[in-house]
């Protein structure tokens, strides 16, 4: 089988791999859609681990099952996640699944940017779900990123009617936008430096969208009754966005850090000013099985429209074009690789 071996963002090589054989409790999936995630482009994080096969937003069909597998049959259309918790440690037992040490140890063999992946037994048990008939493979590939969004927003504690500002209107930002609207948010503002993304934010229901180069706090006050936002969701790792979150949140509001920044970034802030404000800061990473089920349900019911977020599709052989576009072009949102 073929797989895309990542060396860095501009060096991805298509290589021949042996077809994996599923063992006890494992399944082999033929990949039909695999999304390029923003984290796949974090060269500072990926390149030191290279060479490796990336890809974790995947959907496909079961082509072989290992001994002991009963929940899935050959031909089942499924979505699979690379991260699953153990379900038994102190973090899992207190609903902090994404802090489980097993989360970062679980994964696919070799990775989602390949023709086939072998899914390990723990992932088969807790991280593979059959697709509803009306959900396509492309739509299903959004299950993992949307699952991360549902978990994050729930952790931040959005209340119905609260105003929200989303910093960064890429895939994650637009998923957050649609989800908070589904939950009953009030005014929702979106920012970005990219005109296409600002336009998409309005199409998906934002109250207003502003260029991040503008005086965003003034725009928010003008369109939110003179107040700043009850919640600010940071969906970009840009240092300026991280810092501005504290300037855009109302007293006793909430800041949700959804995206990481570069490893050298440190945050200096006037502590007493923050202390007096009563602002709560939440960060969130990954998704647990419940979050993935919620996400797939939202996609099935059309509560979150993911199909309209896809701007480009590439074959596995052309994956380098996809990475180059994702990294450098302003005319894209979600890029799907279809092995």
* pLDDT for the residue numbered 138: 98
Alpha carbon separation from 114 to 34, 59, 102, 110, 280 (Å, rounded): 9, 12, 24, 7, 41
Q: What is the pLDDT of the chain when averaged over all its residues?
A: 95
* 128, 79 Cβ separation under 8 angstroms: yes
The yes-or-no verdict on residue 70 having pLDDT over 90 is yes
- Sign, CA dihedral 106-294-56-282, equals negative
Give the percent of the chain with pLDDT over 90: 93
Measured distance CA(153)–CA(85) in Å, rounded: 20
Mean pLDDT of 33-40: 96
- Residue 251 pLDDT level (bands cut at 50, 70, 90): very high
* pLDDT for the residue numbered 328: 84
The yes-or-no verdict on residue 93 having pLDDT over 90 is yes
DSSP state of 131: P
Note the pLDDT tens digit of each residue in 183-230: 999 999 999 999 999 999 999 999 999 998 889 999 999 999 999 999
The yes-or-no verdict on residue 106 having pLDDT over 80 is no
User: What number of helices (H) and strands (E) belong to the chain?
Assistant: 12, 16
95: Cβ–Cβ under 8 A, 6 or more apart, which residues?
Answer: none
* Element of type H or E holding 157: none
Length of the chain: 339
The yes-or-no verdict on residue 107 having pLDDT over 80 is no
Measured distance CA(41)–CA(27) in Å, rounded: 28
Note the pLDDT tens digit of each residue in 133-163: 999 999 999 999 999 999 999 999 999 999 9
DSSP state of 235: -
**Tokens representing residue 121 in the block:** 């037994």
Mean pLDDT of 291-320: 98
Residue closest to 306 by CA, chosen among 204, 218, 202: 204
* pLDDT for the residue numbered 12: 98
**Tokens representing residue 134 in the block:** 């009306």
* pLDDT for the residue numbered 269: 85
- Residue 284 pLDDT level (bands cut at 50, 70, 90): very high
The yes-or-no verdict on residue 335 having pLDDT over 80 is yes
Measured distance CA(7)–CA(116) in Å, rounded: 20
Residue closest to 80 by CA, chosen among 114, 113, 119, 115: 119
> Buried (b) or exposed (e) across 102-122, using 16+ Cβ within 10 A?
bbeebbbbbbbbbbbbbbbbb
* pLDDT for the residue numbered 212: 84
Residue that is written with structure tokens 């969130």 in the block: 284
Mean pLDDT of 234-243: 94
Kind of pairing between the strands at 310-315 and 334-338: parallel
Domains of the chain: 2-142+306-338 (3.90.180.10), 156-283 (3.40.50.720)
The yes-or-no verdict on residue 333 having pLDDT over 80 is yes
DSSP secondary structure of 18-82 = PPP---TT-EEEEEEEEEPPGGGG-HHHHGGG-SB----EEEEEEEEE-TT--S--TT-EEEE-S
3-state secondary structure 285-327: CCCCHHHHHHHHHHHHHCCCCCHHHEEEEEEHHHHHHHHHHHH
Task: Please give the torsion angle defined by the CA atoms of residues 206, 208, 211 and 216, in that order, rounded to the nearest 10 degrees.
Answer: -120
* pLDDT for the residue numbered 104: 80
Give the percent of the chain with pLDDT over 70: 100
Residue that is written with structure tokens 């082999």 in the block: 28
Mean pLDDT of 55-59: 97
Which range among 128-132, 147-151, 324-328 shows the weakest confidence by mean pLDDT? Answer: 324-328
Measured distance CA(24)–CA(122) in Å, rounded: 11
218: Cβ–Cβ under 8 A, 6 or more apart, which residues?
Answer: none
DSSP secondary structure of 75-116 = T-EEEE-S----SSSHHHHTT-GGG-TTTTT--EES-SSBSE
Note the pLDDT tens digit of each residue in 20-30: 999 999 999 99
* pLDDT for the residue numbered 329: 74
The yes-or-no verdict on residue 116 having pLDDT over 80 is yes
* pLDDT for the residue numbered 250: 97
* pLDDT for the residue numbered 189: 97
Alpha carbon separation from 72 to 29, 127, 233, 274 (Å, rounded): 11, 12, 37, 51
């Amino acid at each position: 089988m073929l797989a895309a071996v990542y060396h860095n963002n501009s060096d991805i090589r298509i290589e021949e791999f042996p077809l994996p054989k599923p063992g006890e409790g494992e399944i082999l999936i033929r990949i039909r859609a695999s999304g390029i995630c923003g984290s796949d482009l974090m060269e500072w994080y990926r390149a030191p681990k290279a060479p490796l096969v990336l890809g974790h937003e995947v959907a496909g069909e079961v082509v072989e099952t290992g001994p002991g597998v009963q929940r899935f049959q050959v031909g089942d259309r499924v979505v699979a996640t690379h991260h699953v918790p153990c379900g038994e440690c102190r973090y899992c037992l207190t609903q902090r699944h994404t802090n489980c040490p097993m989360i970062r140890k679980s994964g696919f063999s070799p990775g989602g940017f390949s023709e086939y992946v072998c899914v390990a037994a723990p992932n088969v048990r807790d991280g593979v779900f059959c697709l509803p008939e009306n959900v396509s493979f492309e739509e299903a590939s959004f299950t993992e990123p949307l699952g991360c969004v549902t978990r994050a927003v729930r952790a931040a504690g959005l209340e119905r009617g609260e105003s929200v500002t989303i910093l960064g209107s890429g895939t994650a930002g637009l998923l957050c936008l649609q989800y908070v609207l589904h939950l009953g948010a009030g005014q929702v503002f979106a920012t970005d430096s990219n005109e296409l993304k600002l336009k998409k934010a309005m199409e998906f229901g934002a109250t207003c969208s502003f260029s991040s180069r503008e005086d965003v706090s003034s725009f928010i006050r003008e369109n939110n009754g003179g107040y700043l936002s009850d919640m600010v969701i940071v969906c970009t790792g840009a240092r300026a966005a991280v810092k501005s979150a504290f300037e855009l949140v109302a007293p006793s509001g909430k800041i949700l850090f959804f995206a990481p920044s570069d490893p050298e970034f440190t945050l200096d802030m006037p502590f007493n000013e923050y202390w007096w404000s009563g602002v709560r800061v939440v960060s969130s990473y990954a998704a647990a099985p419940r979050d993935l089920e919620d996400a797939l349900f939202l996609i099935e019911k059309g509560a979150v429209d993911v199909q309209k977020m896809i701007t480009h599709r590439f074959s596995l052989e052309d994956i380098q074009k996809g990475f180059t576009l994702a990294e450098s072009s302003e005319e894209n949102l979600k890029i799907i690789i279809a092995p």
